[in-house]
Amino acid sequence: MSEAVGSVGAGRMVVDGRPMAYQAGDTVAVAVLRAGEHPHHGGTICLAGDCGNCVAQVDGVGWVRTCQRPCRPGLVMQRHPASGAPPLPVAGQSDVTSSPPARHIPVLRREAEVVVIGAGESGTAAAEAARREGKSVTVLEARDGLEAVAIYAGPTVIVRAPDGMLHINAGEVIVATGAAEIQPVCPGNALRGLVTARAAQQLHAAGVDLGVAVAIGTPPESVPCAPLSGRLVRIESEDEARVSAVVTVEDGEGERTTACDTVILGLGRAARDVLSRMTDEPSVSVVGPAAESFPLPPAPTAGTVCPCSRVQVDDLSS
């Protein structure tokens, strides 16, 4: 996972059949947010590839994380339905029994001495250390179009690349995927107008108007917002779509409601350790924040757990 990489220049794309302008440096998600819309239907935006709150169909491919896709002229984005999967493509009205030809996705197989997943601080340090030992190092970074999606026995690293899939048999794998910002699970967490602290910084730097913004937890540096003390209770909306207020509480005091357009959430981090948990091979190691243990928030009692399928906390206990 990575922070967003944007378009080369300004232009226009197509969103749900309508033209939409984007600026230089925009990802699809940032352009949609700049237009005052949400790339999905709601939920906290991280802009780092960690949540499912920006997925949409892009150029005919479903479930694309639009915060990781640079804009380009003529790109076509279609929002998924508010619940359920997007419809499958139909071959043609005259023959509804035939399927469209499957899209051919090439698979390339490679060998590598050392594969480092992640080109952040810890990944760069690990790659340099391996090179100093005279090893040949391959660095995979989603930001550069090489997204490691799985580690299988071998170890074999499965990589989504711009022109297909890569299967890399590695002598050694170092996972340096960093840490993700924690998303809130509480009533109202599927509304529009919620962003993580790092996403707020990116949006502010991109010139996106956040309106009246409040921050819960650690506020982002250099983003105009009003820090709120206390614990997040729920997020409220006047139209059941977008945030209109946030409710917090402090020990020994009653609830406090604060009107706002945007809630910025600095709730801490959690290790991005999905890849490292796929294998227990001794030749796979984890470094940096991906190997750290972070304090986790208390278990939620209400709210949306899975934004794609709208699974609620109550669904998990029933």
Which residues of this chain interact with ligand FES, rule CB under 6 A?
Answer: 29, 45-47, 49-51, 53-54, 65, 67
Angstrom distances, CA of residue 241 to CA of 37, 41, 246, 251, 261: 11, 8, 14, 30, 12
Shortest distance in whole angstroms from residue 42 CB to ligand FES: 12
Shortest distance in whole angstroms from residue 39 CB to ligand FES: 7
CA 231 to CA 252: how far, in whole Å?
12
Residues contacting residue 58 through CB under 8 Å, at least 6 positions apart:
28, 64, 66, 69, 75, 76, 77, 78
Angstrom distances, CA of residue 130 to CA of 124, 139, 146, 180: 10, 11, 20, 25
Q: Between 125 and 308, name the residue whose CB sits nearer to ligand FES.
A: 308
Q: Between 45 and 263, name the residue whose CB sits nearer to ligand FES.
A: 45
Residues contacting residue 180 through CB under 8 Å, at least 6 positions apart:
1, 46, 48, 50, 269, 270, 271, 272
Shortest distance in whole angstroms from residue 147 CB to ligand FES: 12
Q: Between 13 and 67, name the residue whose CB sits nearer to ligand FES.
A: 67
Side chain identity at residue 251, one-letter code: D
Shortest distance in whole angstroms from residue 185 CB to ligand FES: 15
DSSP 8-state assignment for residue 126: H
Shortest distance in whole angstroms from residue 72 CB to ligand FES: 18
Q: Between 147 and 172, name the residue whose CB sits nearer to ligand FES.
A: 147
Q: Between 112 and 206, name the residue whose CB sits nearer to ligand FES.
A: 206
- Do the beta carbons of residue 173 and residue 283 sit within 8 Å? yes
Q: Between 172 and 181, name the residue whose CB sits nearer to ligand FES.
A: 181
Shortest distance in whole angstroms from residue 247 CB to ligand FES: 24
Q: Between 196 and 248, name the residue whose CB sits nearer to ligand FES.
A: 196
**Which helix (H) or strand (E) segment is 125 a member of?**
helix 121-132
Shortest distance in whole angstroms from residue 168 CB to ligand FES: 24
CA 303 to CA 44: how far, in whole Å?
12
Q: Between 114 and 203, name the residue whose CB sits nearer to ligand FES.
A: 203
Residues contacting residue 69 through CB under 8 Å, at least 6 positions apart:
27, 28, 29, 58, 75
Give residue number: closest CB to ligand FES: 67
CA 96 to CA 298: how far, in whole Å?
50
Shortest distance in whole angstroms from residue 234 CB to ligand FES: 21
Cβ neighbours, 10 Å, residue 98: 10
Cross-strand partners of 306: 311
Cβ neighbours, 10 Å, residue 246: 26
